[in-house]
Structure 1
């Protein structure tokens, strides 16, 4: 494949035999336009790598390589995205140069419709820098409201991490989460965001106003009982009900849910907390898992709201809405950015949504001001 690429004039090629090695190369050498990923290569955690690379803005498009059965090959041929990335095509690893050229030629067309690639400004933050930021309280909770479609009434808010770095300014998760995970500091970051969120809820409750908050979690954090016990103690300390919290877990992290994680999910539900499958439609969770695990909400990946003009996206939304209804779960549509998208979703029967059409992520003080306007609250009472 590398020889074929060079025949086509592509000389800047990085090679890796594992997802971990590929991430190291990308972090050191910078982003790439296209990833050629062999789904059948033993030990290559292709899906996990693609999800991580996409979240960090290190890849624009993907070509899937594998000797697939004809039905699966045809299915991939109908897809426009794979693991959240533009899918240029599916090839056999032994494909001829001409076939590879035809697939790569599609990149020019796709690159016109995707946003400019977000190349990291430098290497990952050092462990010392991240730990210093955590110790000094530089990681702050930002809040993006969830709303009732149509009316715009608030229906809770998602808690998002931001790093107020003293040198680099305000950093987004794509700038630091890989480092937080690499240095095994994700629990510490979660605890700080939880503390800030519960403090905000306590302030609102004293003014007789309630609000539900959703926190992002990794399934691996629930392998033991340390995090669930911390959540229980924190709720008790603030005298808040578990029903005020929702925990969002990415669909891709639920492919291998071990017993300890299942038990922690049950414990969270017993506390009254809600559980949401985040980025639904991007991963490959089975209906069996969806029915067996105690989730109460499905949060559809933002890709579908952004591509409502495609019949595939509308079909996905309609089918997920029916699935959620049959399982007595809420459906939240993420990524709503304009009035037309909102109206189309309302016409499809959707009730809840989130996106810049309603509000961008904001600080706790800004959220209180936003709630004051939407609810008619008096800011001087808070």
Structure 2
């Protein structure tokens, strides 16, 4: 039997195929970018849109064909054909869902989807209830199957190509048209392969017999599916996406959008990552309130918005932290942009009657996402930003391999530091203090060292800041106190009694149990309180001054001496010296090393005069030359500590040292 087609329905079937393909291309981006339950939702949605679109196109094509005879459709087989199309699309999408897809997985996915389309088509043909038989031209049947497989492979290829492009564009429309015509080509080739054999008495003489119920049902189904899919895309893009990927305070893309950018970005060209952190933002929050802080962040966001370009994007990733990404970036371009941003940050902010002057610190890393993991780029920029803060803030710093080596070492030390105390890797050394006026030993300072099993001796300047950050400084200081007091008591039993001093961290004052700790250690080691001296720093008075003074008074009332270490650096405490319960000031090495300069001598002399008025002793650190001792002695500083009188020593050398300097037999 020969038939013809209703051209209007044919055109409608092609349009449906194109619309379904375009919808599936849009959903393809969601399948790979979503996570958790959201990924399964978009996987089902994509399979439903693709499968039902192909199925609807098939039945529109069937209805477009004039059989000149009454044709009905078996409902069960019709639904089965739709299930075959949707299920094969689901399996194919699932196979190709991971981000990294090789050619084998793509071929398998295309074969499964193509097989499902072939099954859908010929099961749909089998669903036809009519008074004639169907046979197939084998050559055309094979061609139709090959077209289905080729179209499916092309469809998956286009899905993978466009799934990282969330916006609609003309390339997607062109791809949808190609896919639509390819799917229609398979259908009409399959129809061409069909041979209908029927009795002439069954021919409809006046009009074509059409299953209008199926026509209306398919029409409603496909437009309902397209409406739902496009509605879901619209809601996701304009409502959910705004909530999930836009910062509420600044209106800039947030951390989620940053993660999405790095996850979906494709390209081996060099990109620049700039990590911006506002300087002293916490102080503004604490003094003026979080409302002012939020308004300040909003204004910073407005200024950074001026730096958004086609190849530049700005993200707010939390608090006062921002990230700027520059595509096709060179080092010179990144540095120029950093300078412009820092200049913009420095301009005055006028917020609710407050004039705020805020600066920023920027860390820069440049690399390729293919060459280095995105987390490494971000971490490198973060490391460089902290380096910029350490150099004095209000500047930028470019990440170097040397920083990376230091960061890796820091991470290793942080990890190993947690077990160092348990595994007895710490040991104590003691540096003598000398009274040049009496020419006698007058005490020792206890210093901790770390004998790392692989890295060797690690000095305190490297691991103490890590211990401060992690809170391990508290159990570490407890061990140091017990060890130093036990050693001091041991010296006394050997016939030479010398006081011992121990450095304290501000973190111990935060526990509000420091006085109890000192009392327990003294009781445990049976050491007289006057033989223990605790060294504090000026910087800790930047916190709760009154509480720290309260705790120091309790400790000092026990008979324990208190000295202020590194005096003259950090936050100046001169205005508080008459309130802080201390017994001595330790001059920082900055003054000792430059004691030859008249200006430094004048400052040291002023400190000594002030200390005399406040009945405080003065101790000079880092004394290494006789000339230093002479000048300090002339200024009235008689207690010194440094390599000139002895380097830090292990316990086994202390006894011999004491015998030599005290002339014990």
Q: TM-score if structure 2 supplies the norm length?
A: 0.40
Matched, 1:124 2:124: no
Equivalent residue in structure 2 for 1:335, among 622, 627, 645:
622
Match of 1:114 in 2: none
User: Structure 2, unaligned stretches of length 5 or more?
Assistant: 1-271, 283-318, 320-341, 347-355, 362-386, 396-402
Q: Which has the higher contact order (CA 8 A, sep 6+)?
A: 1
Matched, 1:301 2:562: no
Q: Deviations over 1:151-189 (max 9, x none)?
A: 642111111110011111111012211221122111111
Say if 2:482 and 2:525, in contact at 8 Å, map to a contact too.
Answer: no
Post-superposition offset of 1:231? 1.3
- Partners of 1:184 and 1:14 lie apart in 2 by 26
Match of 1:145 in 2: 432
Post-superposition offset of 1:265? 0.4
Match of 2:464 in 1: 177
Equivalent residue in structure 1 for 2:654, among 367, 373, 379:
367
Matched, 1:283 2:544: no
Q: Deviations over 1:206-244 (max 9, x none)?
A: 123211111111233123432221210111122211111
Which residues in structure 2 correspond to 1:186-225 (within 5 Å)? 186-225=473-512
- Partners of 2:360 and 2:549 lie apart in 1 by 26
Say if 1:254 and 1:285, in contact at 8 Å, map to a contact too.
Answer: no
Q: Deviations over 1:98-133 (max 9, x none)?
A: xxxxxxxxxxxxxxxxxxx9x948233354411211
Question: CA separation of 1:41/1:246 partners in 2, compared to 1, >3 Å: closer, same or farther?
Answer: farther
Say if 1:224 and 1:260, in contact at 8 Å, map to a contact too.
Answer: no
Match of 2:452 in 1: 165
Which residues in structure 2 correspond to 1:35-54 (within 5 Å)? 42=358
- Partners of 1:286 and 1:182 lie apart in 2 by 24
Question: CA separation of 1:302/1:126 partners in 2, compared to 1, >3 Å: closer, same or farther?
Answer: closer
Match of 2:613 in 1: 326
- Partners of 2:550 and 2:631 lie apart in 1 by 39
Match of 2:516 in 1: 229
- Partners of 1:243 and 1:216 lie apart in 2 by 16
Question: CA separation of 1:373/1:41 partners in 2, compared to 1, >3 Å: closer, same or farther?
Answer: farther
The structure whose residues are more often helix, as a share, is: 2
- Partners of 2:573 and 2:488 lie apart in 1 by 35
Say if 2:538 and 2:573, in contact at 8 Å, map to a contact too.
Answer: no
Say if 1:150 and 1:343, in contact at 8 Å, map to a contact too.
Answer: no
Q: Deviations over 1:257-290 (max 9, x none)?
A: 4333222101110111111111111123343311
- Partners of 2:360 and 2:464 lie apart in 1 by 22
Match of 2:420 in 1: 133
Which shifted more, 254-263 or 265-274?
A: 254-263
User: Structure 1, unaligned stretches of length 5 or more?
Assistant: 1-10, 22-35, 46-57, 66-92, 94-116
Say if 2:279 and 2:358, in contact at 8 Å, map to a contact too.
Answer: no
Say if 1:212 and 1:244, in contact at 8 Å, map to a contact too.
Answer: yes
Post-superposition offset of 1:200? 0.9
Q: Secondary structure at the match of 1:291?
A: coil
Cα-Cα RMSD: 3.3
Match of 1:17 in 2: 278
Match of 2:110 in 1: none
Q: Deviations over 1:54-100 (max 9, x none)?
A: xxxx79x95786xxxxxxxxxxxxxxxxxxxxxxxxxxx9xxxxxxx
Q: Secondary structure at the match of 1:202?
A: helix
Q: Which has the larger radius of gyration?
A: 2
Q: Secondary structure at the match of 2:411?
A: coil
- Partners of 1:237 and 1:286 lie apart in 2 by 34
Say if 2:471 and 2:507, in contact at 8 Å, map to a contact too.
Answer: no
Post-superposition offset of 1:252? 2.0
Match of 2:151 in 1: none
Say if 1:150 and 1:342, in contact at 8 Å, map to a contact too.
Answer: no
Q: How many residue pairs align between the two structures?
A: 292
Match of 1:317 in 2: 604
- Partners of 1:131 and 1:122 lie apart in 2 by 15
Say if 1:157 and 1:212, in contact at 8 Å, map to a contact too.
Answer: yes
- Partners of 1:44 and 1:267 lie apart in 2 by 41
